[in-house]
């Protein structure tokens, strides 16, 4: 039977070439193994609804790799992916940037189990996986204000997401929210929450994904001051009563 990666890789090569990203043969192998493991596992539990090889290359891998343009992701940076799900954007970033240390967080046990098996299978040594809610992790001294960067995609609207993510970053660090094409209203609605949590929006770029007409937004928020101790509030409160 044809492996999913055999159909996906030709598109991936086009995507990285159009994004002007250099990928080594070892990194291509890891991406292919990730892809095959994901689509085998996806038969057992729901990890992704995007299955078409072209769409996977563009919307999962290409979208994740747009983070590589961010110069604040320095060598040695400690980065946390909140709501990592099937591993996007954290796993592609970890494959491309072995000089960084990634922590992947998800509240669903089945998904963190998948991620733990995946990193073992790929022999990726710069990733650790944490099962839990971002609200609890953000109040845990082991994680609170310990990261240089936070990344998150498709987890919650920005006013809610800010409360899940900003408490995890050190002052001087950055939070990247990978958003859909129309993030302007989300950014305005989150202004007050971001300021309250010690952040400031420093850039808001439109990102065009190759091979499709798809447009995304990459919102970067820098952490300017410590987050007040009361945030994040208890699990579920940020969603029920957004700041
Ligand atoms: N980031 C991945 C992507 O873009 O493909 C997954 C997106 S999926 C739609 C959202 C994920 O966030 C789910 O796996 C869910 O379990 C997780 N999640 C939602 N709220 C969370 C929270 N408060 N703490 C940790 N994980 C959360």
pLDDT number for residue 119: 98
Cα–Cα distance for residue pair 126/123, rounded to 1 Å? 9
**Residue 213's pLDDT band (boundaries 50, 70, 90)?**
confident
Residue spans of the domains in the chain: they are: 4-240
Q: Which residue has the CA at smallest separation from atom 5 of ligand 1?
A: 88
Gap between the Cα atoms of 178 and 155, Å rounded: 10
CATH 3.40.50.150 fits 4-240, yes or no: yes
Residues 122-170: tens digit of each pLDDT: 999 999 999 999 999 999 999 999 999 999 999 999 999 999 999 999 9
Q: What is the mean pLDDT of the chain?
A: 97
At 13-38, the pLDDT tens digits run 999 999 999 999 999 999 999 999 99
Mutate to test the pocket of ligand 1, among 104, 105, 155 (most ligand atoms within 8 A of CB): 155
Question: Where residue 182 falls among pLDDT bands split at 50, 70, 90?
Answer: confident
Higher pLDDT, 173 or 1: 173
């Amino acid at each position: 039977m044809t492996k999913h990666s055999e159909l996906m890789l030709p598109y991936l090569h086009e995507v990285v070439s159009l994004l002007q990203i250099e990928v080594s043969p070892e990194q291509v192998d890891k991406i292919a193994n990730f892809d095959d493991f994901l689509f085998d596992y996806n038969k057992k539990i729901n990890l992704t609804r995007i299955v078409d090889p072209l769409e996977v290359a563009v919307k999962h891998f290409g979208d994740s790799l747009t983070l590589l343009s961010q110069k604040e992701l320095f060598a040695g940076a400690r980065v946390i992916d909140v709501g990592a799900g099937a591993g996007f954007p954290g796993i592609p970033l970890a494959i491309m940037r072995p000089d960084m240390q990634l922590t992947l967080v998800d509240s669903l046990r089945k998904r963190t189990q998948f991620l733990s098996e995946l990193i073992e299978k790929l022999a990726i040594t710069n990733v650790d996986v944490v099962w839990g809610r971002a609200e609890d992790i953000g109040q845990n001294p082991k994680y609170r204000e310990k990261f240089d960067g936070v990344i998150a995609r498709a987890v919650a609207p920005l006013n809610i997401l800010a409360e899940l993510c900003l408490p995890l970053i050190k002052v001087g660090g950055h939070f990247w929210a990978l958003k859909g094409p129309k993030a302007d209203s989300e950014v305005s609605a989150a202004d007050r929450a971001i300021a309250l949590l010690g952040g400031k929006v420093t850039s808001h770029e439109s990102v065009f994904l190759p091979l499709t007409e798809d447009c995304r937004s990459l919102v970067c928020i820098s952490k300017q001051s410590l987050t007040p101790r009361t945030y994040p509030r208890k699990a579920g409160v940020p969603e029920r009563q957004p700041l």
